């Protein structure tokens, strides 16, 4: 029951231009089904194997988003069904996604992950590297991927001013890239702890886990 009421409450507060990704990593299929029965159709996972397992067990009208750091050798397991890959941070990874998408005669939507946090543990490209990649001749040859936006994660800090600055950096990067890449539509930023601020700063897609499903227990 709490999952249903959490979702309803969050949905009622989100502006209509903001898409909700229900981050269900570590949670059992029963919990996801509760969200599904409340109308949620977009789920985010950060481990490919876990996403593949859940995809097999759950209804086929779900859109699966890979929000974690992607290992190139595992792209093949999700290439037949993944709807959006948020964490693309290198040309090598993009090449592999393109190759696997081609095998399934699909175009896989991707977001470039931009590093906006100060922490070394958060992945991502520089804005400059993203510019260079999107302008390259090689990029134009990748027919089975579509870069539809950017993703970023702010620092894990109480310092709201810093988080605002990081989100604003992502928004500015998006605006400047969109000038030359009009197909960019999505700014994926904001998690349970910071999504109202992310929306204020221009987010169009929030990734919420614990505020829907409750705290995760990694100790099991």
| Residue 63 sits in the site that holds ligand PLP (CB under 6 A) | no
Residue 45 pairs in a beta bridge with 66
Residue sitting closest to ligand PLP (CB) = 209
| Residue 193 sits in the site that holds ligand PLP (CB under 6 A) | yes
**Residue (149 or 209) nearer to ligand PLP, CB:** 209
Region from 49-57, 158-166, 169-177, 191-199 binding ligand PLP, contact rule CB under 6 A: 191-199
| Residue 209 sits in the site that holds ligand PLP (CB under 6 A) | yes
| Residue 150 sits in the site that holds ligand PLP (CB under 6 A) | no
Could you tell me which of 59, 58, 63, 60 has the C-alpha nearest to residue 27? 58
* Among residues 31, 76, 192, 197, the one that binds ligand PLP under rule CB under 6 A: 192
CB of 192 to ligand PLP, least distance (A): 3
Contact by Cβ (8 Å): 21, 209: no
Q: Kindly write out the interface string for residues 29-48 of this chain, putting x where it contacts ligand PLP by CB under 6 A and - elsewhere.
A: -----------------x--
**Residue (173 or 211) nearer to ligand PLP, CB:** 211
| Residue 198 sits in the site that holds ligand PLP (CB under 6 A) | no
Burial 201-217 (b: 16+ CB within 10 A, else e): bebbbbbbbebbbeeee
| Residue 117 sits in the site that holds ligand PLP (CB under 6 A) | no
Enclosing H/E stretch for 144: none
CB of 69 to ligand PLP, least distance (A): 9
| Residue 191 sits in the site that holds ligand PLP (CB under 6 A) | yes
Binding-site size, ligand PLP (CB under 6 A): 14
* Among residues 27, 55, 65, 207, the one that binds ligand PLP under rule CB under 6 A: 207
Q: What angle do CA 51, 11, 85 make, to 5 degrees?
A: 30
| Residue 186 sits in the site that holds ligand PLP (CB under 6 A) | no
Could you tell me which of 197, 124, 119 has the C-alpha nearest to residue 157? 119
Contact by Cβ (8 Å): 67, 23: yes
Query: What are the CB-based long-range contacts (under 8 Å, 24+) for 93-102?
Result: 94/133, 94/139, 94/142, 94/145, 95/142, 96/72, 97/144, 97/145, 98/142, 98/143, 98/144, 98/145, 99/144, 100/75, 100/76, 101/144, 101/145, 102/143, 102/144
Contact positions toward ligand PLP, by CB under 6 A?
23, 25, 46, 67-68, 153, 191-193, 207-211
């Amino acid at each position: 029951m709490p999952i249903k009421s959490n979702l309803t409450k969050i949905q009622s507060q989100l502006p209509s231009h903001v898409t909700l990704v229900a981050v269900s990593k570590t949670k059992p299929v029963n919990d996801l089904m509760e969200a599904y029965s409340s109308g949620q159709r977009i789920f985010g996972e950060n481990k490919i194997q876990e996403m593949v397992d859940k995809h097999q067990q759950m209804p086929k009208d779900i859109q699966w988003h890979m929000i974690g750091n992607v290992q190139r050798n595992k792209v093949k397991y999700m290439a037949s069904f993944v709807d959006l890959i948020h964490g693309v941070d290198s040309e090598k990874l993009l090449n592999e996604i393109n190759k696997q998408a081609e095998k399934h005669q699909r175009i896989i939507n991707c977001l470039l992950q931009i590093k906006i946090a100060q922490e070394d543990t958060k992945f991502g490209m520089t804005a400059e590297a993203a510019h260079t990649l999107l302008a390259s001749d090689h990029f134009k040859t990748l027919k089975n991927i579509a870069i539809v936006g950017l993703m970023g994660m702010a620092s894990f800090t109480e310092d709201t001013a810093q988080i605002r600055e990081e989100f604003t950096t992502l928004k500015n990067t998006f605006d400047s890239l969109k000038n030359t890449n009009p197909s960019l539509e999505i700014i994926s930023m904001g998690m349970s702890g910071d999504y109202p601020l992310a929306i204020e700063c221009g987010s169009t897609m929030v990734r919420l886990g614990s505020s829907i499903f409750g705290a995760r227990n990694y100790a099991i």
